Structure formats: structure tokens, C-alpha cells
């Protein structure tokens, strides 16, 4: 995936969700992403008024695509109408030369 395609993919979505675990998220993630670990996905989506509209255009990603595929399936089952899993996940995003944001976390050094 080239950088232009990746940017257009983000522009076409209302929300980008990173479904990885917190320790993975702090190491590196796509800037501006909503972090909702896959184990909390249903709870967080149902608890947030901002995320309640079923016509949101949602793009979900994880490290390499496995968890995001399952998360996308879950979101469709919850009634969301426009959900995609990012092919290749965050690894493909970084490999294409796209920017990765990092969080300075005292416990992780």
C-alpha cells in the first residue's frame, strides 16, 4: 500500500479504531486513532453516544489484520453499516512509510 492510498483510506472514514492491546498501542499507532482494545469493543461502542450512529464509516486495524477482521465482523453484527478491516494492519501502514505516533509511557521506559 502506498502512502497516497493509505491517506485516502483514512480520509474516507469517520473513525479509525486500533483494536490492539494497550502495550502494543503505546509502542506505535496511527496518529489520531481511537484506541479500543478488541476485548472492550462492544462495551465501548455501545457506551459512547458519539459512536452510536450505525452509518459511521469505520476502519479498524490491528498489528497485521487478524484481530481487525474479527472486530469488523463484530461491528457489522452490532448493526454498523460501513465497516472495513485495514488489510495488513499497522505493519503494512508502517512498511509503506506512513507516520507512526508513539506514547512516552514511564513504565515502558
What is the reported pLDDT for 104? 62
Residues whose CB is less than 8 angstroms from the CB of residue 21 and which lie 6 or more positions away in sequence, other chains included: 37
In Å, what is the CA distance from 100 to each residue of 41, 44, 96?
Answer: 22, 24, 11
Q: Using the predicted structure, report yes or no on whether residue 68 has a pLDDT greater than 60.
A: yes
In a domain, 109, yes or no: no
**Residue 2 binned pLDDT confidence (cut-offs 50, 70, 90):** very low
Q: In the chain, how many domains are there?
A: 1
**Residue 82 binned pLDDT confidence (cut-offs 50, 70, 90):** very high
Write out the residue range of the structural domain in which residue 75 sits. 3-104
Q: Which three cell numbers stand for residue 45?
A: 461502542
What is the reported pLDDT for 35? 95
Rg of the chain in Å (alpha carbons)? 13
Instruction: Write down the pTM of the prediction.
Output: 0.85
In a domain, 14, yes or no: yes
In a domain, 84, yes or no: yes
In a domain, 56, yes or no: yes
Domain with residue 32: its CATH number is 3.40.250.10
Amino acid at each position: 500500500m502506498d502512502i497516497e492510498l493509505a491517506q485516502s483510506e483514512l480520509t474516507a472514514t469517520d473513525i479509525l479504531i486500533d483494536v490492539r492491546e494497550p502495550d502494543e498501542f503505546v509502542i506505535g499507532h496511527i496518529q489520531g486513532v481511537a484506541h479500543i482494545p478488541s476485548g472492550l469493543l462492544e462495551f465501548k461502542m455501545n457506551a459512547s453516544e458519539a459512536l452510536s450512529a450505525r452509518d459511521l464509516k469505520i476502519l479498524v486495524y490491528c498489528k497485521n489484520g487478524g484481530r481487525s477482521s474479527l472486530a469488523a465482523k463484530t461491528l457489522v453484527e452490532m448493526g454498523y453499516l460501513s465497516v472495513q478491516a485495514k488489510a495488513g494492519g499497522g505493519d503494512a501502514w508502517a512498511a509503506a512509510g506512513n507516520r507512526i505516533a508513539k506514547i512516552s509511557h514511564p513504565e515502558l521506559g
